[in-house]
């Protein structure tokens, strides 16, 4: 066999080896280039859902070592056990960040104090209501309590100072007049002269003003008695004005923390958390609140008196009033709200989570969990 034939045979053999090698390796190459559609799993092949949360006691409470507790965290873990998935907590800074994480696919769901609104429902799907709450107001615990300084402020108000001045001037003028008139006509009760006699007249005018009437000095002349009757009527009116002014002022101070509607917040220094339904509710009702960075900061401002009222989630406000002290709930819930678990639109996990949530309600686990944090 010539050298050319051997060379041709060798080339054919190399081509056959290359073809066989390519055919055998194709499945492995294809498998390496095709992305996996399976979700991440843990031991036991349970899917892991990323849960966006934001720290907010008592719903989400960060702990040492990267762990979390709280009503919402415990609830989603119970739901996960029932529905057959595991939970990976993803912490964010606000409700808006929670919803963005869900919309953008960085989280599979979000849970916490997330109010269900029509605007939010347009971009995410919500579960059945996981909690009922609303919008309420928190004020300092001392708000509405009557103090000595409040009473002194009322006593020295312009209205009462004017009434007191009229009473003093009237007492002096009427007392001196009646003393001089009765003494001139021989009334022995007003017989003293000079300063002593004038003081007797002022004493009589004072007891007559307050309708005490000791009876030690009584005018006899007709003119004096007419003046006396007029002075009695004036005295009754003046005392009534004083009583009404002080009583109404103290009543307003005692009731000022009883906020029954958003209209009662007008003119007050109100704080709230931007980007929440509470913030939107205040602005829609003509109240321009000051922004606050956190619930803890709001609590400190209200307790110290730097802010008059904090409008926010009712369950959080009630929890603060019950556990920390120095503040109290003012008035009823102004707008009821439901909290839901947020999912990306058309998420396949909405129905399994709803069924698990209903089962937890039916078997009593939900109620026991709620009492543990909110009772």
Average the pLDDT over 165-181 and give the result.
85
pLDDT at 145 over 60: no
Strands of 219-368 (E only): list them: 270-272, 290-291, 309-313, 327-339, 342-343
**Contact call for residues 108 and 50 (beta carbons, < 8 A):** yes
Closest by alpha carbon to 362, among 55, 78, 15? 78
155 vs 142: CA distance, rounded Å: 21
Give the angle subtended at the CA of 174 by the CAs of 171 and 180, to the nearest 5°: 130
- Of residues 277 and 232, the one with the higher pLDDT is 277
pLDDT recorded at residue 30: 37
Kindly give the interhelix angle for 222-255 and 194-209, rounded to the nearest 10 degrees: 50
Count Cβ atoms below 10 Å from residue 17 Cβ, excluding itself. Answer: 10
Residue 47 Cα to chain centre, angstroms: 38
Which of 32-36, 158-162, 342-346 is most confident? 342-346
**Contact call for residues 60 and 70 (beta carbons, < 8 A):** yes
Average the pLDDT over 344-364 and give the result.
96
Rg of the chain in Å (alpha carbons): 41
pLDDT recorded at residue 7: 52
pLDDT at 40 over 50: no
304 vs 310: CA distance, rounded Å: 12
Write down all domains in the chain, each with its CATH number in brackets: 48-130+340-374 (3.40.190.10), 148-255 (1.10.287.70), 261-337 (3.40.190.10)
User: How confident is the prediction for the chain on average, in pLDDT?
Assistant: 82
210 vs 205: CA distance, rounded Å: 9
pLDDT recorded at residue 366: 96
Q: What is the pLDDT of residues 94-108, one digit of tens each?
A: 999 999 999 999 999
């Amino acid at each position: 066999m010539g050298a050319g034939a051997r060379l041709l045979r060798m080339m054919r053999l190399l081509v056959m080896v290359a073809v066989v090698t390519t055919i055998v390796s194709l499945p492995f190459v294809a498998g390496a280039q095709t992305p996996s559609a399976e979700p991440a799993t843990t031991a036991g092949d349970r899917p892991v859902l990323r849960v966006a949360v934001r720290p907010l006691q008592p719903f989400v409470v960060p702990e040492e070592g990267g762990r979390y507790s709280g009503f919402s965290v415990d609830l989603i873990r119970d739901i996960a056990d029932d529905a057959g998935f595991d939970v990976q907590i993803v912490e964010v800074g606000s409700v808006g960040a929670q919803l963005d994480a869900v919309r953008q696919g960085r989280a599979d769901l979000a849970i916490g104090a997330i109010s269900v609104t029509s605007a939010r429902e347009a971009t995410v799907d919500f579960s059945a209501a996981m909690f009922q709450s609303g919008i309420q107001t928190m004020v300092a615990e001392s708000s509405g309590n009557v103090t000595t300084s409040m009473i002194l402020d009322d006593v020295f108000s312009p209205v009462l100072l004017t009434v007191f001045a009229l009473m003093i001037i009237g007492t002096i003028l009427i007392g001196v007049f009646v003393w001089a008139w009765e003494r001139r006509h021989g009334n022995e009760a007003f017989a003293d002269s000079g300063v002593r006699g004038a003081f007797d007249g002022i004493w009589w005018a004072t007891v007559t003003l307050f309708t005490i009437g000791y009876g030690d000095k009584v005018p006899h002349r007709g003119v004096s008695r007419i003046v006396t009757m007029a002075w009695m009527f004036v005295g009754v009116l003046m005392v009534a004005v004083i009583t009404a002014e002080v009583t109404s002022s103290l009543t307003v101070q005692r009731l000022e923390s009883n906020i029954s509607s958003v209209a009662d917040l007008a003119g007050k220094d109100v704080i709230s958390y931007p980007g929440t339904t509470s913030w939107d509710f205040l602005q829609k009702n003509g109240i321009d609140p000051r922004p606050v960075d956190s619930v803890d900061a709001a609590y400190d401002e209200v307790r110290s008196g730097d802010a008059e009222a904090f409008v926010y989630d009712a369950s959080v406000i009630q929890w603060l009033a019950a556990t920390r002290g120095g503040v109290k709930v003012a008035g009823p819930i102004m707008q009821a709200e439901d909290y839901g678990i947020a999912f990306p639109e058309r998420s396949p996990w909405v129905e399994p989570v709803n069924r698990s949530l209903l089962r937890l309600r039916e078997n009593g686990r939900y109620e026991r969990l709620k009492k543990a944090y909110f009772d």
